[in-house]
Amino acid sequence: MIELQKAFMEVNQYSHGMYSPSLTCLVVQTNSNYRIVPRRIDSQARPLDQNVPCGTVVEDATHPAYNEFLIVPQKAIKGTARALRCTLVTHSKGKSGQLLSLDELEQITNILCYGHQVI
């Protein structure tokens, strides 16, 4: 991460302060033990319908010291849907660009999962 910040500072120097973008780094952990289940499960429903819907996000059940969220971007074919654990590592504002809110990061993460055929 430090090398990336140094590279941004070098580019800023070469551009005479004209280029200083915002930097956001989100680490996604796929092998986690988190499972998100609905509050009420209809035992008469098909197994596919007993999981949470695709795109479900949970912000409350994560580590209190970190900015992180859990997201289920896939439909479970068998068993309980596995959540991705996303941790915001760095979030710095440059002279150009905007800082994304946590809701926007959640939406982008969900969209990228569909774009890369994770689901």
Segment (H or E) for 86 = strand 84-92
Furthest CA-CA distance within the chain: 65
Q: Which pTM value belongs to this model?
A: 0.76
Structure confidence at residue 86 as a pLDDT band (50, 70, 90): very high
| Number of separate domains in the chain | 1
Q: Burial code of 34-69, b = ≥16 C-beta within 10 A, e = fewer?
A: eebeeeeeeeeeeeeebbbebbbbeeeebeeeeebb
Residue 19 lies in a domain: no
pLDDT of residue 22: 81
pLDDT of residue 69: 92
> Mean pLDDT over all residues of the chain?
82
Query: Is residue 68 a contact partner of residue 85, using CB atoms and an 8 Å limit?
Result: yes
Range of the domain at 101: 25-115
Residue 11 lies in a domain: no
At 38, give phi and psi (nearest 5°): -70, 155
pLDDT of residue 76: 75
